[in-house]
Each structure stands twice: as C-alpha cells, then as structure tokens.
Amino acid sequence: MNEKSPTLFLLHFPPPIHGSSIVGQTITESEVINQSFDCRYVNLGTSTSIDEIGKGGIRKIFRFLFILGKVLQQLIVFRPQLGYIAITAKGGAFYKDSVVVMLFKLFRVKLVYHLHNKGVSTRQEKWFDNWLYRFVFKNTDVILLSKYLYPDIEKYVPETRVYYCPNGIPENQVESGKWKVESTESVKILFLSNLIESKGVFVLLEACKILQNKKINFHCTFVGGIGDVSEQQFKSKVVELELTGNIHYAGKKYGKEKEEAFVHADIFVHPSYNDCFPLVLLEAMQYSLPVVSTYEGGIPDVVEDGVTGFLVPQKDVPALADKLEILIKNPELRKQMGAAGRKKYEEEFTLERFEKRMVEILKEVMRDELQKLTMNKKQLVNGKR
C-alpha cells in the first residue's frame, strides 16, 4: 500500500451545526488524518440551515447536482483508492446518497461508510429500500459510533465488516480546575440542544413541573436554536405549566457564552429519544457535570449509569424527575459523578483518540482491500496457467 493512499472524503460541513457536520469539519482540519492520507474533500450536505433538513426544494436539487459534478470530477481526475462517505441512514437523504454510491461503485472504488445517524431497520421491510440497502452495503465496510447501533444494520452488514469509532472533541479552553462554579442559590440545570421535540424538550418541562410541585429549589436553562419547536410553542408550554419562574430560554450561545453556560451549571440533562451519539454529552463531561440522559442510541457508551450520571427510559417523565431530584438534593454526588465524567472523557473521548482510531480504521480497510486484490490477481494468473 502506498504510504498515503488517495482518499476521497464525502462529509457534511457546517452550517447547519449538528453532530455529523461537526465531525466532518474535525476530519477536514485534522493534521493526523491529512498527514496519513492523500485527502480530497467534498461537502455532501444540501441543507444550509436546520430548517432545511428533511425538506426538498429546487435549490437543494441544484446543490445536489453540483455535488454529483464535483464527485465525478474527483473520481476521474483524482482517482481515489478509497471513498469515505458520511452516509444518511434513511429517507430522501439516503436516496440522494445512494446515487453518489453508484458513482463510486461504477469506478470500482473501495467504500467505507461512517454512520452518524440510524433508521435503516425502520425502513428495511419496504421492498425498494430493502433492495437499495442491499446494493449500497454490498462489499463495503461501515464505521459505527457504538456497539449499541449495530442492530440497525445487521441485516445487511456482518459484524466482521464493522468498525467502532466513538466521537471525540477537542479540549475546552477553560483553565484547569475552573470547570465548575459552585451554585450559591438554586441548583442550575442545563439543557443545550436545538429546540427539537425528540431531544426531550417537552419531557424535561414536564419533569420540571414535578420538581416544582415538590417545592424543590432549581432553575433550568434551555440553550439552543429553534428546531421543530418554535420559541412561541416553548414559551406557551412554560406558561401552561406555570414554570415561568423556574425556566429560562437563552437562545443560541457560542464561544465564551456557551462556555459560561456549562461553567455555571450544576447538572446537564439530555432526555433524547432520537439520537446516536450526542457530542454535547462529551462537552458536559469536559466541564465535570453529572449527566442525566436516556437509553437511546450509543448514549449508554457515553453515560455510565450510576457512575457519571443517570440513564432513564425514553419519555419517562417521573423517572427523569426522580433522578434530577436525587442530584439536586445531593451536591456531593453531583461532584463525584462530574469528576467521573471528566475522567471518562479524558480516557475515551478526546479528539486525539478519535483521530488515531480513524486513521487505524481507514488504513486497515485499505490494507484488507489491497490484500484481496492481490489474491484475486494470483488466482487469475493461476487460472490461466
């Protein structure tokens, strides 16, 4: 194998900002990955804002045609040995990505997919999707974020062709030892994500109502952009539950303001019921925050129940309220779990570990592919003899 294999990366770049686009940007900027491979990059995204995700439109069609043109140019001129695609698992985006896959297969380029989402198993009984999944996943390798996500693709991909690579994030810039500011008033709960219903926005509000009814002293701040829940819908729900004094929507926060939100929080909560591997959980662990989340996607690989925080069943409002109450009433437990989360981040989820693992996987994929090509050539020569 050449020391630097020509590799064409098709990934998502921000905007919009979401897990896959953040990882895509991380890969393009990684010195470790760029020094290990001869890299070219194409932005696979056709959405420029959260609002556009999952929707069609003429502009998105033209963006997609432009992407196809760039990919075709790279396949002809650059002639990659390996194609890396941050493929979407289902829906219109999957159909779009399948067309790109066809181009790679037409040029006989070895493929590896990096799945940052899930949903294959929800569509595999539909005849067209089933046929397309068989075509797309045939003779390819797949990178998953967690072992808990393998059942989603097991119908199409043997585990021998699956690699696991948990996400990693860069170290925060807060001075060591100053990740936490002790609360002097009510315990501060932080939710940081776009206002998307499946992230558990309303579930958390209902849990906060239970805490309020018990006369527990807390304040919950929601940080993030507008998703499928509008600001008006959110505020109306807060008024309906009579939570105005306990809830604050702070909107989007970046840079220093985002750091401040973590630093001044006591508990981080993410009651999602549609996620794979939320990067925001790693951020919370960086800041030594105990995390309350759900048994969803790869989250059990991130949050160790009873050690770095608590995991509750999805949409279980009483269970969520119960775990929040335990942490609110026990500052020593918050400190203990926060320290354990920080340690887990340092040992498993740093950017350096992610980059090293990605390089190992891509090199192994290429090594296996070249070995197969060599064996096929030998068999062909022996057959002619």
**Is the pLDDT at 1 greater than 50, yes or no?**
no
State the pLDDT confidence band at 376, using cuts at 50, 70 and 90.
low
Q: Report the phi/psi class of residue 288: left, alpha or beta, with left for phi > 0 and alpha for psi in -120 to 50.
A: left
User: Same topology for domains 6-170+354-384 and 187-348, yes or no?
Assistant: yes
What's 198's DSSP letter?
Answer: G
Q: Which pLDDT value is given to residue 46?
A: 85
Q: Which pLDDT value is given to residue 2?
A: 47
Q: Which pLDDT value is given to residue 177?
A: 47
Q: Which pTM value belongs to this model?
A: 0.91
Q: Which pLDDT value is given to residue 235?
A: 97
Q: Which pLDDT value is given to residue 175?
A: 52
Proportion of the chain above pLDDT 90, given as a percent? 83
Q: What is the mean pLDDT of residues 345-349?
A: 97
Q: Which pLDDT value is given to residue 375?
A: 66
Chain segment 78-134, per-residue pLDDT in tens: 999 999 999 999 999 999 999 999 999 999 999 999 999 999 999 999 999 999 999
Q: Quickly list H helices, the chain.
A: 19-29, 31-36, 58-77, 91-106, 127-137, 201-213, 231-240, 255-263, 279-286, 299-302, 317-329, 331-348, 351-384
Task: Spell out the CATH class of 187-348.
Answer: alpha beta
Contact (Cβ atoms closer than 8 angstroms) between residue 69 and residue 103: no
Task: Spell out the CATH class of 6-170+354-384.
Answer: alpha beta
**C-alpha closest to that of 275 among 95, 123, 149:** 149
What's 172's DSSP letter?
Answer: P
- Tell me the two tokens of residue 34: 């760029």
Q: Lowest-pLDDT range, 37-46, 51-60, 210-219, 278-287? A: 51-60
Q: Which pLDDT value is given to residue 4?
A: 86
Q: What is the mean pLDDT of residues 228-256?
A: 96
Residue spans per domain, the chain: 6-170+354-384, 187-348
**Is the pLDDT at 379 greater than 70, yes or no?**
no
Average pLDDT over the chain reads: 92
**Is the pLDDT at 176 greater than 50, yes or no?**
no
